[in-house]
Amino acid sequence: MTSVALGAPGAYKSWWRPSILDGYILRMLGAPAGAVLGVTLVAFLLDQTLHLIDQLASNGARLGYLFGLVTNLVPYELGLAMPASFFVSMFIVIARLDEESEIDAILSGGISFERIVAPLAAAGMVLGVVSLLLVGYLQPYSRFGYRALLNAATDAGWTARLDPQVFINAGPDFTISADEADPTGRKLKGVFIRRKTLTGETVVTATEGVLALKPDRKTTELRLAGGMILSDGGQQGSRLLRFGDFAYQEVIAGAETLRPRGGDEQELTLPELLSESQRPDALIPKRVLQAELYARLARSFAIPLLPLLALPLALAAKRGRRAPGMIIGAILLVTFHHGVTLAKGFAVQGLLDPLVAMGGLYGALALVSFWLFLSSRRRPGETPISGLFMRLESLFERRTKVAAKPKTAGGVVSLSAYLTRIMAVRTGAAALALIGLLQLIDLLERTSGILARGGVADIGRYMILRMPFLFQEVAPFAVLGGAIFTFSQLSRSSELVVMRISGLSLFQIFQRTVPVALAVAALDIGVTDQVTPRAEQALATWWNNSAPGAAAKPDAPRWFRIDGNVVMVRSATPNGTVLRGVSIYERDDRRALTRRIQAATAVWGRGGWRLHDAAITDMGLQRATMMSVAETQWRTTLRPADTARLFAAAYEITSETAFRSLFGEGPVDRSPSQIKTRLYRTLAEGLAPIIMLLLALPTALGHSRSNRTAPIVFGLGCGLLYLVSDGLLTAMGSTGILPPLVAAWGAPVAFAAGAISILLYAEG
């Protein structure tokens, strides 16, 4: 047990004067709070970054907007993550104080239960003020900033730059792509342009071309060489023109008018909400403004109540009682947040008074918090809730007969098995805790949309489909957390001292714990490569297809390359077996258009794809000839699963999909740099858990009387730095800034080399 200098007894009778105990508890709170908040923010921001990269690339926008967009997301994600991270970190600190019997020592020294919670309550009040600043000022401006940047990035027009194989919607009914492009995106090969017209469409193909942006910054000029133009003329038929050199100009779309800040209640600050709600001529209804105002205040004022929940729920009268406490705490947080969302919806509809609805929910949370806190004052760790769980457990034990385990003959556990077992248990616990935290925060953001798409049962559906991605995000940090907890416990019990004295080196400790990291790495590779892409695709399909009428958007046409040809599909069934509005542009080896097939539908069957009601246009030397067929075969390597993925708009793809796309056997709708980066990362991602174990090994250097905080902070900091660096390098590889091989393997190799160097230095 770590001793704590409590100071003079009189110092604890003053509530306003900080003491040694306050500093001790707050210092213990800092590291886990920072780690949990950091992991949460990194996980969600990296996810948003990948989404934004896909969105910007598909619109041909400059990736220079990416940093500003992600920065504007930080206040929003921070506001979601802060309450849950604060509660989890308090739970960790209180559980540690209880495990080491420090709570008992403090209480036996005459320190009251209220005095123990005082520093945590003070931290809650500070975070409540921070939350008010976030939701009251930063989030409204960051929401508008995000919208303004996204408008500038996606609607300001095409930047006259092409990534190879990416289809750019450079304006209304205008699509352009190139098979190859130099690093500047200006010199092109295999150019394809399609412009929709009143009489049909105009298709331009060329062997090569050069892009330029005129001084007015609104007109692009494309100089093409060795190509042809096919123009539909209505009843006059299609006209064909072949050229040696041709200059094609296009006026790019101007930016949509940006709606000023204030048209949405979520973009108003707290003073503006209060002022607008008192104006009789406000554009937004008064009940909407009041509901938004009271919802923000309720969520911010709830943070100081969390210590009153965390302290009684985290204490345990005996071992094994904390898991129900964590579950109850999570349920209370989720219920309160969703209750606020539901009450806000009722208030907006005029069914409830906003002040009564939000005040009632906040009063209920305060009542439960004080009830749990006051009920545990006499016997810390025993609350009505814990008593209920104990009675249920005793009832279950009376009805269930458990046979005693036979004793083993040897009864001796090897050191390797011992280290592996405790490492596996703590890694699993860390993974469950982190997944639960991310799931909680994700649900805080998504529950309204889920309920609008179905019912309460769909929340479980969303959680299941989201689980693989969350495991993928937390798997490396779970190994880091499990290793740090393992080595810290062994250090406190002086077991590590005995191991080191007996001649066990850090690398030998690594050998005995690496099986857990290898198991997590193998599971992570399988989930990341096979499970997550399919789950994300199913989630995206369900989310898009179940959107309510006001939010539902028609499918945008999907462009892709397959078998050397260009294909456009207007819509598809969820399973991808029926395609509607299919246009196939067949090309020769010089990428010149040879045939165009336009079919009403394409249906997958035993013999492959069958095109129905097709119009075929063949390109001759001087003119184009047309014919119509009721049905014809489409010979292609395209699969129904491919079109289902394309219309699901899921950016996660399997290594098999990347391999097929890279070698021309699957549809290609993204740049080779994205595909190669994904392919190279298939095995590189598996190194992350092993690297995290290496980064955690310095915590084994401490012992029970030394400063163990520095190695722990070092391990957590390096782990976060690795996740950020790996995510940034992956993004840079996907956008072509770095070679895909360097982007995929750069962070794993660099951090592995650094961790091994530190261990060699420590052993020397």
Per-residue pLDDT of 663-677, as tens digits, reads 878 898 888 888 899
Contact 211, 220 (CB under 8 A): yes
Give me the pLDDT at residue 29, please: 86
Give me the pLDDT at residue 380, please: 65
Task: Please give the Cα distance from 48 to 40 (Å, whole number).
Answer: 12
In sequence order, the 6+-apart residues with CB closer than 8 A to the CB of 701 are 506, 711, 762
Helix axes 709-734, 457-492, angle to 10 degrees: 140
Contact 68, 123 (CB under 8 A): no
Q: In b/e form, how buried is each residue of 675-714, taking b as 16+ CB within 10 angstroms? A: bbbbbbbbebbbbbbbbbbbbbbbbbbbeeeeebeebbee
In sequence order, the 6+-apart residues with CB closer than 8 A to the CB of 589 are none
In sequence order, the 6+-apart residues with CB closer than 8 A to the CB of 562 are 636, 637, 638, 666, 667, 668
Task: Please give the Cα distance from 139 to 60 (Å, whole number).
Answer: 28
Contact 321, 381 (CB under 8 A): yes
Give me the pLDDT at residue 203, please: 92
pLDDT of 4 over the 60 cut: no
C-alpha of 457 from chain center:
23
Helices H / strands E in the chain, number of each: 22, 12
For tokens 């092409």, the residue is: 162
In sequence order, the 6+-apart residues with CB closer than 8 A to the CB of 748 are 684, 687, 688, 691, 726
Contact 506, 759 (CB under 8 A): yes
pLDDT of 702 over the 80 cut: no
Give me the pLDDT at residue 7, please: 44
Task: Please give the Cα distance from 697 to 706 (Å, whole number).
Answer: 16
pLDDT tens-place string over residues 360-381: 889 999 998 888 888 877 666 6
Give me the pLDDT at residue 251, please: 65
pTM: 0.73
- Closest alpha carbon to 227 in 210, 250, 252: 210
Reported as a pLDDT band with limits 50, 70 and 90, residue 522 is very high
Q: Which residue has the higher pLDDT, 300 or 506?
A: 300
Half-sphere exposure of 9 (CA within 13 A, CB side): 6
Give me the pLDDT at residue 272, please: 85
| 686 phi/psi in degrees, rounded to 5 | -70, -15
For tokens 């021309």, the residue is: 664
Give me the pLDDT at residue 578, please: 93
Structure tokens at 364: 């209920």
pLDDT of 537 over the 60 cut: yes
Using CB atoms within 10 Å of the CB of residue 734, give its burial: 0 to 12 exposed, 13 to 18 middle, 19+ buried: buried
pLDDT of 248 over the 80 cut: no
Structure tokens at 504: 């066990």
C-alpha of 642 from chain center:
24
- Closest alpha carbon to 49 in 26, 30, 32, 72: 72
Give me the pLDDT at residue 5, please: 43
Task: Please give the Cα distance from 69 to 514 (Å, whole number).
Answer: 39
**Residue range 478-489: mean pLDDT, rounded:** 85
Contact 36, 484 (CB under 8 A): no
Reported as a pLDDT band with limits 50, 70 and 90, residue 2 is very low
pLDDT of 518 over the 90 cut: yes
- Looking at residue 668, the DSSP 8-state letter turns out to be B
Q: What percent of the chain has pLDDT over 90?
A: 14
Residue 334 vs residues 329, 371, 442, 446, 516: alpha-carbon distances, Å? 9, 19, 11, 12, 32
**Residue range 78-98: mean pLDDT, rounded:** 83
pLDDT tens-place string over residues 119-148: 888 899 999 999 999 988 888 888 888 887
Q: In b/e form, how buried is each residue of 273-284, taking b as 16+ CB within 10 angstroms? A: beebbeeeeeeb
Reported as a pLDDT band with limits 50, 70 and 90, residue 61 is low
pLDDT tens-place string over residues 420-441: 888 898 898 888 888 887 887 7
Reported as a pLDDT band with limits 50, 70 and 90, residue 701 is low
For tokens 């005793």, the residue is: 394
Contact 741, 672 (CB under 8 A): no
Contact 524, 431 (CB under 8 A): no
Task: Please give the Cα distance from 480 to 499 (Å, whole number).
Answer: 21
pLDDT of 268 over the 70 cut: yes
Give me the pLDDT at residue 157, please: 53
Task: Please give the Cα distance from 83 to 303 (Å, whole number).
Answer: 6
Residue 664, H or E segment: none
Give me the pLDDT at residue 404, please: 40
Domain ranges of the chain: 23-152+280-393, 168-251, 454-551+651-764, 564-636
Task: Please give the Cα distance from 164 to 185 (Å, whole number).
Answer: 8
For tokens 């958007």, the residue is: 553
Reported as a pLDDT band with limits 50, 70 and 90, residue 405 is very low
Q: 564-636, what's its fold?
A: lipopolysaccharide transport protein A fold (2.60.450)
Reported as a pLDDT band with limits 50, 70 and 90, residue 411 is very low
pLDDT of 557 over the 90 cut: no
From first CA to last CA, the distance across the chain in angstroms is 31
- Closest alpha carbon to 226 in 174, 178, 190: 190
Reported as a pLDDT band with limits 50, 70 and 90, residue 445 is confident
pLDDT tens-place string over residues 596-637: 999 999 999 888 899 999 999 998 888 888 899 999 999 999
Give me the pLDDT at residue 244, please: 87
Task: Please give the Cα distance from 524 to 539 (Å, whole number).
Answer: 20
Q: 361 by DSSP, 3-state: which?
A: helix
Task: Please give the Cα distance from 733 to 676 (Å, whole number).
Answer: 9
Left (φ > 0), alpha (ψ -120 to 50) or beta: where does 742 sit? Answer: alpha
**Residue range 705-732: mean pLDDT, rounded:** 74
Q: Which residue has the higher pLDDT, 467 or 443?
A: 467
In sequence order, the 6+-apart residues with CB closer than 8 A to the CB of 175 are 167, 168, 169, 193, 194, 195, 559, 568
pLDDT of 444 over the 50 cut: yes
Contact 673, 744 (CB under 8 A): no
Task: Please give the Cα distance from 91 to 84 (Å, whole number).
Answer: 11
Give me the pLDDT at residue 609, please: 93
- Closest alpha carbon to 71 in 85, 52, 99: 52
**Residue range 305-330: mean pLDDT, rounded:** 72
Give me the pLDDT at residue 569, please: 93
Give me the pLDDT at residue 601, please: 94
